[in-house]
Structure 1
Amino acid sequence: MSTLKDNIAKMIRHLPEDSTLEDIQYHLYVLEKIRKGQESIKDGKGISNEEAKVRLSKWITK
């Protein structure tokens, strides 16, 4: 299992050389949101794909 530090180091290695501090901050923000989402799912707080589709269908028009 990767540590948070490992994940951040990997993320930084994959960013373009001309990345700004804002780019790095944004990617750190996204990593944290993903980590929190995974933690919520593990704790049984997630929703099913079907429920997600119902919720999104209210916003998405074809």
Structure 2
Amino acid sequence: MSNRQIAIDLLEKLPEDMSLTDMAREIEFVAGIREGFDQLERGEGIPIENVRELMSSWIVG
């Protein structure tokens, strides 16, 4: 499925009264997820141990 078709399908599923800003955020979110999957397919993933370290640095308190 092309990127254009993915965007069209997504937009058709969103509520009619959604703002353009919220629509753009939804498209950006889906694009980020797809890019992540593409990176994994290219072997560019981050080992889970590194993810845990990163996440612990994000926690405040």
The question of a shared fold, defined as TM-score above 0.5 by the shorter chain, is answered with yes
- Structure 2 residue runs of 5 or longer lacking an equivalent are none
- Change in 2 beyond 3 A, CA 1:15/1:47: same
Q: Structure 1 unaligned runs (5+)?
A: none
Find the aligned partners of 1:50 and 1:60 in 2 and give their Cα distance: 16
In the TM superposition, structure 1's runs of 4+ consecutive aligned residues that sit over 3 Å from their partners are: none
CA RMSD of aligned residues (A): 1.8
Equivalent position of 1:8 in the other structure:
7
1:4 is displaced (CA, Å) by 2.2
The aligned counterpart of 2:20 is: 21
Output the amino acid matched with 1:45. E
In 1, Cα distance between equivalents of 2:30 and 2:58 = 25
Q: TM-score under structure 2 normalisation?
A: 0.74
Offset at 1:40? 0.9
